[in-house]
A and B are shown apart, each in its own frame.
Chain A
Amino acid sequence: MTAIVIGVWSMIFLGALMRGMTDQMVKNGISTLTGHIQVHHKGYRNDPVIENSMTDPRQVVSILEKTLPSDLRWSSRVRVNAVVSNARHTAGITFVGINPSQEAEISFIGTAITQGRYLKDDDTYGIVVGKALAEKFGTKSGRKMLIMSQDTDKEIASRAFRIVGIFRAEMEATEKQFVFVTMQAAQRMLKMKNGISEISLVLPDAKDVDTVAASLRSVLPAVNYEVLTWRELLPFVTAYLNIYDGFIFIWFIVVFIAMGFGIVNTTLMAVFERIREFGLLKALGMKPWWIIKEVLTESFFLLIIGMIIGNALSFGSVFALSRTGIDLSAFASGSEYFGISRVIYPAVYMYDVIMANLVVFVLGLLVSVYPAVKAARFTPIEALAQT
């Protein structure tokens, strides 16, 4: 019974933790300037240089406005690789020009400011940087940073921006990678006129990604534009999710093997303890098949009770951690390598719960067949001779 309870608990609870981890990875990936879908100029994905920007996005914007449902949020961005420097340090970063009000609705940055303020639409020289970058540079709000990147004339453009706000992100790497200015400021510095690098879309329901992407592909000329879903934009996360689906099945089997030995052992012990009883029942006329049925029925109830307790325990554990999560800050640098958040919140998927219970129930009954057949095979004389 204990083996079944622990087995079911570990399958559901640890499965929920891992699901929580992957969900956070996807959520972080999507909110860290990916979105559910992105529209780029053809070739930008393979070579994200300024030459592959959308020089006149009006046609795309007009098509999006006509095609997309009104509750779907989206925003344009300028995104180029750049160098940031101050008197002490220099670092490679991603320089992002955003529409502050639209961007706040689709990515993490709108709610991530911990010092200073968020960008305003008319901020000409304001910049928002990550906490980790600011600490590394030994700078703070109100101070200046110099951004350098290649402009559309293939010349080095540079401009000083004053830090208006400092943001925190789920991952330290994000804080070091991105700096944000207004779209107009970025376009002016890079001489892009109305040009943008990408349009990022966030859907009300993530399940509709493929449908919406397909409808966009059908209306946007494929010669000029590419439409990519988050699965294509985040190949590492996608690969991890695929591996995870296989891994969780292997995990279930491994747990079950350990638990299966417990079930066989318990049932065999129960059979051997009652061997005289089985002998007597056979002597009185109970057929072997009925003895198999009796042992299997006992296993059935053992499994059902174990599963009920195991499910209750695992849901209780998930509930207990649903608010606080598990804080992995101590291992942040290691876990961030895999894109895992600092705090993991368990996520229960009904598919995993049903799968775990099915594995335990079906395989549990199957492994009980061996002790059941053993009980049925004793001759009454052998069994009654046992003391």
Chain B
Amino acid sequence: MNIVETVDVKKTYQQGKVEVTALGGVSLSIQKGSFVALAGPSGSGKTTMLNMIGGLDSPDSGRIIVNGNALESLSQAKLAGLRLHNIGFIFQAYNLIPVLSALENVEFVMLLQGIPSAERRDRAISILDDVGLEGTYNRRPAELSGGQQQRVAVARAIVSNPSIVLADEPTANLDSKNGKGLLEMMRKMNEEKKVTFIFSTHDRMVMDYARRLILIRDGLVADDEVRET
């Protein structure tokens, strides 16, 4: 069953007086439970593709269907609802809320979902334990290392049991040891919780972890390889 489907998605940006084509017509089908890497050099269009799938940006033309929802037909509020209940995001720069503790950052999405306080707390603690952050619950992002911050971001992304987790260069700001640890953790969650992971990268080591590697170059799918790893 396809959880994400894109049909001839095109997107151009205006940079000063120059029009830059980010996506030149990308068609993809991604099955539920996949662990997919969108790979390619900088500026190839992989981040744009992730943003489109997450409904953070809209295409100039083409269709994107996520979990059976055609994104072009959804209002901003419904798109926000889709992200809240179905999609988890992991950003390259972590994007944690600096004034909240690790625990509160993880709880925040559940707060938006209206989950009761006690349940929120239990689930947030449990997921922070799963990502190896026992004892750091009350630390603010500034008091955590880059690796720990990214783990909090992962915990935040998966705590509400989304169908898909979109990760934009999740290891870009981590050293290789922390990067590997993060990927191991993401793959474990993919295997155990059957969460679909789609992540962008240009790092060979990260690509090696992917079970499907989609190579994007100049805004087009240059290669699509399904592998056993």
Chain A residues with a Cβ under 8 A of chain B: 277, 280, 282-290, 379-381, 384
Asked if A283 and B77 make an inter-chain contact with CB atoms under 8 angstroms apart, the answer reads no
Q: A284-B108, A284-B112 are in contact. Are A379 and B77 (CB under 8 A)?
A: no
Is B176 an interface position by the 8 A CB rule? Answer: no
Q: Other CB < 8 Å A-B pairs besides A283-B89, A285-B85, A380-B56, 18 of them?
A: A280-B97, A284-B84, A284-B156, A285-B80, A285-B81, A285-B83, A285-B84, A285-B109, A286-B80, A286-B112, A287-B76, A287-B77, A287-B81, A288-B76, A288-B80, A379-B57, A381-B51, A384-B91
B95: interface (CB < 8 Å): yes
Beta-carbon contact of B57 and A381 below 8 Å: yes
User: A283 to B81, Cβ gap below 8 A?
Assistant: no
Complex formed: what's the CA distance from A280 to B81 in Å? 14
Binding site for A on B (CB under 8 A): 51, 54, 56-57, 76-77, 80-81, 83-85, 87, 89, 91, 95, 97, 108-109, 112-113, 156
A289 to B75, CA, bound (A): 12
Q: Which secondary structure dominates chain A's binding surface?
A: helix
Task: Kindly list chain B residues whose C-beta atoms are within 8 Å of the C-beta of A282.
Answer: 80
Q: How far is the CA of A325 from the CA of B84 in the complex (A)?
A: 61
Cα A270 to Cα B83 with chains together (Å): 26
Instruction: Contacts A280-B95, A283-B89, A285-B85 given; indicate if A379 touches B108 (C-beta within 8 A).
Output: no
A284→B81 CA distance, assembly (Å)? 9
B112 to A285, Cβ gap below 8 A?
yes
- A280 to B56: give the CA distance in the assembly, Å: 10
Query: Considering the chains assembled together, what is the distance between the CA atoms of A282 and B51 in angstroms?
Result: 13
> Which residues of the partner chain B approach A285 to less than 8 Å between Cβ atoms?
80-81, 83-85, 87, 109, 112-113
Instruction: List A contacts of B109 (CB < 8 A).
Output: 284-285
- A-side contacts of B76, CB under 8 Å: 287-288
CB distance from A167 to the nearest CB of B (A): 70
Judged by DSSP, the binding face of B is: helix
* Closest B residue, CB atoms, query A276: B95
How far does the Cβ of B172 sit from chain A's closest Cβ, in whole Å? 15
List the 5 closest pairs (A to B, CB-CB), nearest first: A285-B84, A285-B83, A287-B80, A380-B56, A381-B57
In the complex, are the beta carbons of A289 and B77 less than 8 A apart? yes
CB–CB B51/A284 < 8 A? no
Contacts of A280 in B (CB 8 A): 95, 97
Give chain A residues whose Cβ lies under 8 Å from the Cβ of B57.
379, 381
In the docked arrangement, what's the CA distance between A39 and B81, Å?
77
* Cα–Cα distance between A285 and B81 once the two chains are bound (Å): 6
In the bound complex, what is the Cα–Cα distance between A280 and B112 (angstroms)?
A: 13
Query: In angstroms, how far is the closest chain B Cβ from the Cβ of A274?
Result: 11
Residues of A within 8 A of B89 (CB): 283-284
Residues of B with C-beta under 8 A to A287: 76-77, 80-81, 84
B126 to chain A, nearest CB (A): 20
A283 pairs with B54, CB closer than 8 A = yes
Write the chain A residue with the least CB distance to B88: A284
**Alpha-carbon gap, A384 to B57, bound state (A):** 12
Cα distance A290–B83 when bound, in Å? Answer: 15
Closest Cβ of chain B: how far from A384's Cβ, in Å?
7
Q: Which residue of A lies closest to B89 (CB)?
A: A283
Chain A residues within 8 Å of B91, by CB? 384
Interchain nearest-CB distance for A385 vs B (Å)? 10
**Interface residue from A288, A290, A381 paired with B56 (Cβ < 8 Å):** A381
Residue among A277, A282, A381 having the largest count of chain B Cβ atoms under 10 Å: A381
A288 CA to B97 CA, complexed, in Å: 18
User: What residue of chain B has the Cβ atom nearest to residue A289's Cβ?
Assistant: B77
CA distance A289 to B76 in the complex (A): 10
Kindly state the separation between the CA atoms of A380 and B112 in the bound complex, as whole angstroms: 17
Kindly provide the distance from the CB of B166 to the nearest chain A CB, expressed in whole angstroms. Answer: 10
Closest residue of chain B to A290 (Cβ to Cβ) is B112
Contact B83 A283, beta carbon cutoff 8 Å = yes
B51 surroundings in chain A (CB, below 8 A): 381
Give Cα distance in the complex from A341 to B71, angstroms.
73
Give the complex CA separation of A287 and B114 in angstroms.
Answer: 13
Complex Cα gap A380–B91 (Å): 13
B77 touches A277 (CB 8 A): no
Give 8 CB contacts A-B under 8 Å: A282-B80, A283-B54, A286-B84, A287-B76, A287-B77, A287-B84, A379-B57, A384-B91
| Smallest CB separation, B80 vs chain A (Å) | 4
The distance from the CB of A318 to the nearest CB of chain B, in whole angstroms, is 40
Contacts of A381 in B (CB 8 A): 51, 56-57
CA distance A289 to B84 in the complex (A): 14
Residues of chain A lying within 8 A (CB to CB) of residue B108: 284
User: Which residues of the partner chain A approach B95 to less than 8 Å between Cβ atoms?
Assistant: 280, 283, 384
Most chain A CB atoms below 10 A, which of B80, B87, B91: B80
User: In the complex, what distance in Å separates the CA atom of A380 from the CA atom of B84?
Assistant: 13
In the complex, what's the smallest C-beta–C-beta distance from B74 to chain A, in angstroms?
12
A157 to B26, CA, bound (A): 114
For the complex, what is the distance from the CA of A145 to the CA of B75, rounded to whole Å?
92
